DNA sequence: CGATTTTTTGAATCATATCAACGTACGTGG
DNA sequence: CCACGTACGTTGATATGATTCAAAAAATCG
């Protein structure tokens, strides 16, 4: 269970974890099993834990007054699920996070994460993750103002093909900021174009 | 000149700068004066420096094959201008950054910034900045998929009223991902609604 | 002032949303 | 293992919001 996380941390830092650090991590990261559709975070709550996904798929989304859901982030194995803003600032989140499939996550609270700040590899990994996340968000903002729906879909299909296999198309449509009907028509076009 | 930066750093960290740290910062941050429309970063270059804006206004944007500009970030006094991805990874940037007005910036290269990593206040400030930036990007992604053009404009007018005073409306329109004509019509509506 | 940039307006067009219906697949309980 | 309900995907007709193009008005700058 934890081996996957250890591996992940080592892959994302320059200095490998020592044995004692590995032990610390095993003690601090707690396994949590989520059923399909189970909330990990609900709007209005503080995002008390960050989750490393060992197995499964999760989504982060906002909900408007009409009940419509807007997917702002999708995550699968070896990704993290967390509302960074709420987690770091300890403020109520405006987002929901739930499991789309049966999902196993390793969770850690912010307080515990701070406890582990002696672990350099973990800090380095966290910093890199944040940088990558910020870059990805910036690109997505850029895409949303500069590309058509069709281009955004092609982009997604190229950059994150896993998403198309793991999530239904209406979730993908929401992630792209379009309706399921529009996505369906776009896909029909793309196929016939070839 | 540097006092403003010193002040800013102290405002954005819990531990105030010591006198010797202040001296270090004065030595490492270099003043650069930019004319209107002068590039600070051009697409394809590595963003070698980060810029703290002492006075003036800058924009970060991408350009498509037709020459259309898409504003992804606007910054004024006491903000930073930098392509974080290019700056940290030392990769060629896909964005341009230029001065919209006569602008004075204090710049620091990544290598020099690393030299200053003994300054806790500076590290803390940088971390907070990154967090805030990431949160803002996330909110913008959320807005782009969940709100209408009119709502996004109202949001902007409420959150960053300074922008409306400093930048012409076609820049604001681009930032919102709409055409200047659409923004003009939206504004007409908003006025008559009241 | 004249030149340039910015903003507005109108008309035609295009992209996407909406609403409604239908087909399909899937999984669960009987 | 079948039948039923729910979730998912597609299609068509229509509506709407935003773009495009062209032009003119207004503001700004040297």
pLDDT digits (tens, 9 = 90+) for B133-187: 999 999 999 999 999 999 999 999 999 999 999 999 999 999 999 999 999 999 9
Mean pLDDT confidence for A105-110: 97
Q: Is residue A53 part of a domain?
A: yes
Q: Provide the number of structural domains found in chain B.
A: 1
Residue A67 forms contact with B (CB below 8 Å): no
Chain B positions in Cβ-Cβ contact with residue A176 (cut-off 8 Å)? 145
Q: pLDDT of A54-69, one tens digit each?
A: 999 999 999 998 889 9
Q: Is the CB of B182 under 7 A from strand D?
A: yes
Domain of residue B85 covers 2-116
Helix (H) or strand (E) holding A155: helix A149-159
The answer to whether residue A8 sits within a structural domain is yes
Taking an 8 Å cut-off on Cβ atoms, the answer to whether B72 and A141 are in contact is yes
- pLDDT higher than 80, residue B70: yes
Give a yes or no: residue A68 inside a domain. yes
- pLDDT (0 to 100) of residue B49: 97
Mean pLDDT on A162-189: 95
Closest nucleotide relative to residue B100's CA, C1' based: C5
CA-to-C1' distance for A192 and D10, Å?
15
Instruction: Give the model confidence (pLDDT) of B7-54 as tens digits.
Output: 999 999 999 999 999 999 999 999 999 999 999 999 999 999 999 999
Closest to B50 in 3D by CA, of B132, B126, B133: B126
Q: Would you mind telling me the total number of residues written for chain B in this entry?
A: 194
Which nt has its C1' nearest the CA of A176?
C16
Asked if residue A146 is part of any domain, the answer here is no
Q: Give the whole-angstrom CA distance, residue A106 versus residue A34.
A: 11
The bridge status of strand A103-109 relative to strand A49-55 is: antiparallel
**pLDDT higher than 50, residue B106:** yes
Residue B170 resides in a domain: no
pTM of the model: 0.92
Query: Which chain A residue has its CA at the smallest distance from B146's CA?
Result: A70
Yes or no, beta carbons of B133 and A134 under 8 Å apart: yes
In A, which residues are within 8 Å of B74 by CB distance? none
Identify the pLDDT of residue A190. 72
Q: Which nucleotide is nearest to A180 (CA to C1')?
A: D9
Neighbours of B1 (CB within 10 A): 11
Q: What is the mean pLDDT of residues B108-126?
A: 95
Q: Are A61 and B141 in contact (CB under 8 A)?
A: no
* SS3 assignment for B91-112: CECCCEEEECCCEEEEEEEHHH
Percentage of chain A modeled with pLDDT above 90 = 94
Residue A142 and residue B89: Cβ atoms within 8 Å?
no
- Report the CATH number at residue B20: 2.60.120.10
Percent of chain A with pLDDT over 70: 98
Token pair for A90: 């300890």
Q: What is the pLDDT of residue A192?
A: 55
């Amino acid at each position: 269970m934890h081996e996957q996380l250890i591996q992940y941390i080592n892959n994302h830092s320059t200095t490998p974890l020592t044995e004692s650090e590995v032990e610390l991590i095993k003690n601090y990261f707690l396994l949590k099993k989520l059923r399909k559709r189970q909330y990990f975070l609900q709007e209005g709550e503080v995002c008390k834990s960050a989750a490393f996904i060992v197995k499964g798929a999760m989504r982060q989304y906002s909900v408007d007054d009409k009940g419509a859901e807007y997917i702002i982030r999708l995550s699968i194995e070896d990704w993290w699920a967390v509302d960074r803003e709420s987690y770091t600032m300890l403020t109520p989140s405006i987002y929901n996070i739930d499991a789309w499939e049966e999902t196993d996550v390793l969770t850690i609270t912010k307080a515990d994460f701070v406890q582990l700040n002696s672990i350099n590899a973990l800090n380095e990994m966290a910093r890199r993750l944040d940088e990558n996340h910020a870059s990805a968000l910036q690109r997505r903002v850029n895409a949303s103002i500069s590309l058509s729906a069709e281009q955004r879909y092609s982009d997604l299909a190229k950059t994150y093909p896993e998403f198309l296999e793991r999530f239904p198309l209406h979730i993908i449509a929401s992630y792209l900021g379009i309706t399921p009907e529009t996505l369906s028509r776009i896909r029909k076009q793309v196929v016939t174009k070839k």
